[in-house]
Chains A and B, each alone.
Chain A
Amino acid sequence: MAKGVRPRVKAPRSAEAGEVVVIKTLISHKMESGQRKDSDGNVIPRSIINRFTCEYNGAMVVDVEMHPAISTNPYFEFEATIPEAGDFQFTWYDDDGSVYEETKTVKVG
């Protein structure tokens, strides 16, 4: 597991039913591309988050396949529809098999 990985999500605490809300996510991760070399000229092995998903009450909002060209500390901003109160489930999948999770609850009304 990569060190110091901390997901951060900005989602509204409450929304109107049917409202479209903006979600912002950031996860601290060095996203080693596998292209860089250390001071001895050895290639530093690739270590990135390769997939990110966001679900709302089990319905998929966005599923992102990520390659090494995503910046350090991957940031995503997207929109989701809130049909009723529920939970956002955010999941990041690391190359080394680690899974980082975060949930956010949204109230309606």
Chain B
Amino acid sequence: MDFTRRDTLAIGAAAAAVTALPMPAMASLTEDAIAEFTGGADVADGGVDLDAPEIAENGNTVPIEVSAEGATAIMVLAAGNPTPGVATFNFGDASGAHRAKTRIRLAGTQDVVAVAKMADGSFAKTQKTVKVTIGGCGG
């Protein structure tokens, strides 16, 4: 198939529009998810440990660890994914430590956010940028 100069320009412009569009939408989705979790309460920075690799070669399986002293629940969000929700850990009476490890999918280089709900009803947040070499969203 031959591309004329005109075709190439049109395709390039369309691709640029597609990649540029979702960015503002994603940021507000993350904020909405945080607001839903906290019920609009203030979120302090720090107080949550989020351990994620600086560079993840394969976005299909990125190991992360979250922990927060005295947390009842920790929500993990991936701000740059098509849907920001990743997981919410609710710790019960029989839990030994407020710490959990899992593996997540990241669509590309982005911030991973952890929001913890403390036993006293306050909230804390930490975020970390993970560079992703191959995105984990298929397609």
Contacts and interface: CB of A to CB of B under 8 A. Distances in A.
A60 B92 contact: yes
Contacts of A65: 87-88, 90
B138 interface: yes
B92 A71 contact: no
A56 interface: yes
A19 to B, nearest CB: 8
Contacts of A69: 78, 81, 83, 85-87, 104-106
Contacts, number: 112
Interface residues of A, number: 32
B94 interface: yes
Name the residue among B105, B106, B137 with the largest chain A CB count within 10 angstroms: B105
Interface string A68-107: 1111101111111101000000000000000000000000
Interface of B: 60-62, 78, 81-83, 85-97, 99-106, 136-139
